[in-house]
Structure 1
Amino acid sequence: MTDLYKTLHAEGLISDESFNKINRNEEPQLFSVHWEIKTLLYLGVLLLTTGLGILIYENIDTIGHQFVLLLIALICIGCFSYSFKTHLPFSTDKVKSPNTSFDYVLLLACISFITFVGYLQFEYKAFGTNYGLATLIPMLVLFFVAYFFDHLGILNMAIANLAIWMGVSVTPKELLLHSDFNSETIIYTYLLLGILLLAGSYATQHFNFKKHFKFSYQHYGVHVTFISLLAGYFFYYSSVLWVVFIIGIGALAWFIYRDAFKNRSFYFLLLVILYSYITISSLVVRVLILMQDEGALYLMMLYFIGSAIGLIFVLINLNKKIKAA
């Protein structure tokens, strides 16, 4: 094929610009192993920390707790020293890593720090029964490190520690499987956490301060807030207060819906549609149950079949609108 292109170019049938483009396309292309290397580095940090943990656990009687704490402290200090020496100047915008290993050394430093504080509290009760302080210090350090070094992974760790400090779990799966929603305290704690995270996502964009952190705040905030509002609705099912939580779900859905279109985010649009569908379906089921009629059961079956089909068409149309926006 190259000889053919040369002949066509020599006869003037192909311009110089087109011929150069063809030559570039014919040249062997480089294969990027960027994500493969990043994955291996993350696995390396994970395997290192896991291996050290197993080694220490199996030999704790001969090693001693003081030596373990000293080892963890040295790893933490060494990693942080390297990070402070090699990091690029702070900026409110996104800052690139100075080299490939920087992010993973910093990640190891933070894991070591959390392990050190946790070990110190577990073995020596350094903070006594003040567990709030034992979780507050790692949380503040992680938020500082995430912003100072511009590290999204550590920001996620900081958000998780914020949830731990508030006495809850930020992971939606854990939230659904292990939390007791039959408690006003838990519901309002989740709601406060979700509002704080959503406020953080808004602030990052509004003040143009680490705008790329918005997704992490909004991702957790949307899940936690929607689930806490739904939990409040079911908790106050027999009270008029359920209306307040339904209004809250509607207001949140409208806010996230507009933001999703503004930022062309199908992911958050999908979350709005799914949580809204759950809310509407619960209201429909509630009305049908009140009918106390055998026909209500058939109507319920027809509703779920028809609404599921409608949901698919809505998502397809919204995806098209976002792409066309």
Structure 2
Amino acid sequence: MIPTDLYSELKENGTISAESFEKLTEKQRSPLFSLHWELKTLLYLGVMMLSTGLGILIYKNIDTIGHQAILAFIAAICGGCFYYCFKHKKPFSRELLKAPSVLFDYLLLLGCLSFLTFTGYLQFQYQVFGTNYGLATFIPMLVLFYVAYEFDHLGILSIAITNLAVWMGVSITPNRLLSTGNFDNNTLIYTYLLLGAVLILAAFLTEHFNFKKHFRFSYLHFGVHISFIALLFAYFNHYESKLAFLWLLILFALAFYLYLDALRHKSFYFMLLVIFYSYIAVSILVFRLMDTMNNIGGMYLLCLYFIVSATALILRIVRLNKQMKTS
């Protein structure tokens, strides 16, 4: 933004008139407000509402339209979107690649959502993959990851990661889920611990090899949440055994690694996540210790702990935020 002193100097030199000076200073006082993110949000909501509306329309008129016609209609939308995107896409790059236009970005998202609807409808109505639900989620997952990397789309990458989580959960326990209606807690915990580790490793590798390193945030975002939540569930699932404290030790080790990583990248968001989950783990240990006292004094100490620790935690977060901004 041009400083007002420059306008004053130009006015004194006679380069601009007094009227122009007033207009420029008024514009300086009232800068334009960017609606970039508001418009992008509305456009994303438009794509989602369009997909939802089409689904409702098809559901209410399924008897009169027919399944083949519905599948052909969805395939036409999906094919048209991908045809446009492949025709207008930029050459592949390992670095950040911006979309050629706003329309391109949203047609790509609509094409992927239509593809997921098509495969889901095909499996539900015609059982193309039989009872192999892992394959029914694996194929869309591969397509989504390919599209995310080929077109450099963070939104589709997030959908692909979500699909990866669904695939890992479904492919490991489908028979047990269908036969008993219950998941094996240990199996799910180990599955999602593996998923969290894979996503954190993907975040590290994408930066290490400088291959779409702007995808690092998405991988790490999902990986951190999944890993910490799975470790907490593992602790509670083994609450009465000696393994419970081992899971908390793993959690603290992961927290220490992510803490150093957040400091290195000056990422306040991931620092906040590490502090939040570490605080939960410490509070679990304190609560368990106070619970063994089994008296009114333990309850008072527990209340005092939460008051003091919450205050200290807030002060620490504020201090860390200032340090990261100034460093």
For normalisation by structure 1, the TM-score amounts to 0.88
| Cα pair 1:146 1:152 within 8 Å, conserved | yes
> CA offsets per residue over residues 166-212 of structure 1, 9 Å max, x none?
127xxxxxxxxxxx898111111111111111111111111111111
Match of 2:307 in 1: 305
1:93-172 matches, cutoff 5 A: 93-167=95-169
- Map of 1:68 onto structure 2: 70
User: What corresponds to 2:260 in structure 1?
Assistant: 258
* Whole-angstrom distance in 2 between the partners of 1:61 and 1:44: 27
Q: Distance in 1 between matches of 2:183 and 2:308?
A: 30
The answer (yes or no) to whether the contact 1:190–1:224 under 8 Å persists in 2 is yes
> Which range is displaced more, 53-62 or 101-110?
53-62
Deviation readout 1:128-151 (Å, 9 max, x if unpaired): 111110000000000000000000
- Which whole-Å CA distance do the structure 2 matches of 1:294 and 1:240 have between them? 27
Which residue of 40, 48, 51 corresponds with 1:49?
A: 51
Q: In structure 2, do the counterparts of structure 1 residues 321 and 273 end up closer, same or farther at CA, with 3 Å as the change threshold? A: same
Q: AA paired with 1:210?
A: K
Contact 2:81–2:111, Cα closer than 8 Å, also in 1: yes
**Percent identical:** 57
The secondary structure found in structure 2 opposite 1:239 is coil
1:104-136 deviation line (CA, Å, top 9, x unaligned): 000011011111100000000001111110000
1:227 to 229, 234, 238: 229
**Alignment-derived partner of residue 176 in structure 2:** none
Measured in 1, the distance between the counterparts of 2:242 and 2:252 equals: 17
RMSD: 2.5
Single out whichever of 209-218 and 24-33 deviates more from structure 2.
24-33
Q: Name stretches of at least 5 consecutive residues in structure 2 with no aligned partner.
A: 171-181
- 1:55 shift after superposition: 1.3
2-structure distance, mates of 1:295, 1:157: 49
The residue number in structure 1 matching 2:286 is: 284
Question: Which residue, out of 268, 271, 274, partners 2:276?
Answer: 274
2:303 counterpart letter in structure 1: M
C-alpha distance in 2 between matches for 1:9 and 1:69: 67
CA distance in structure 2 between the partners assigned to 1:320 and 1:136 by the alignment: 44
1:173 maps to what in 2?
Answer: none
Secondary structure of the 1:127 match is: coil
Corresponding residue of 1:322: 324
Counterpart amino acid of residue 311 in structure 2:
I
Q: Offset at 1:243?
A: 2.4
User: What is the total number of aligned residue pairs between the two structures?
Assistant: 307
Instruction: Write the distance in 2 (CA, Å) between the matches of 1:186 and 1:114.
Output: 24
Q: Structure 1 264/59 Cα, relative in aligned 2: closer, same or farther at 3 Å? A: same
Give the 3 Å change call, closer, same or farther, for CA 274–22 of structure 1 in structure 2: farther
